[in-house]
Structure 1
């Protein structure tokens, strides 16, 4: 019975391609499911053979360890070079987006505080 190896929700295309290449390199039979038209399911990479699933998980764990180390190195290099994204750089680049997010947070905090305000307003 096929088993889901990787849910493709929020997975960059390069990572999904790397995983497919990894499975091909290890001769592990797999197939992809595509996302649904309405976004209910996002697709995935499935391993067809139960016996090969353990090997696929081990290979995937090694790949994720390597990718994580590479991402940390790239972030550290960007911090040293001064090109890493910070709050102030995002604020300068997209002030409208930051303002909308702050307003949304304040609105949600107000909604959460509303029951308390209404409860103590009746006392």
Structure 2
């Protein structure tokens, strides 16, 4: 019976491709499903033989552990160089976007709160 092995929701294409390649290299029999037009499906990689689930899960877990360590290392290197993304750097890089998002958040807050402030009088 097929078993869900790896969800593809919000997974970068590079990571999904690496997982596909890794599963292929280890000889696991997998197939993919897509979300579909209406978004009712599950975007995932499925394992056809549930007897291989523990081994496949171990391969993916090792990959994700290594990926996490690599990303953390890259982050530390950016921190050391003073190039890590921060709120201030994003503000300086995209001031108009930050201004628009702040204005939108304030407008939503005002629309949400104003009816209750009118009830207090």
1:34 matched to 2:34: yes
CA RMSD in angstroms, aligned pairs only:
2.1
Under a length normalisation based on structure 2, what TM-score does the superposition of the two structures give? 0.83
Summarize the alignment of residues 1-80 of structure 1 with structure 2, pairs less than 5 Å apart: 1-41=1-41, 43-80=43-80
Give the unaligned 5+ runs of structure 2: none
Q: d(CA) in 2 for partners of 1:55 and 1:120?
A: 63
Q: d(CA) in 2 for partners of 1:66 and 1:97?
A: 34
Q: Which residue of 2 aligns with 1:100?
A: 100
Under a length normalisation based on structure 1, what TM-score does the superposition of the two structures give? 0.82
Q: Which residue of 2 aligns with 1:89?
A: 89
Q: Deviations over 1:1-34 (max 9, x none)?
A: 2122222111111100111112112211111113
Give the unaligned 5+ runs of structure 1: none
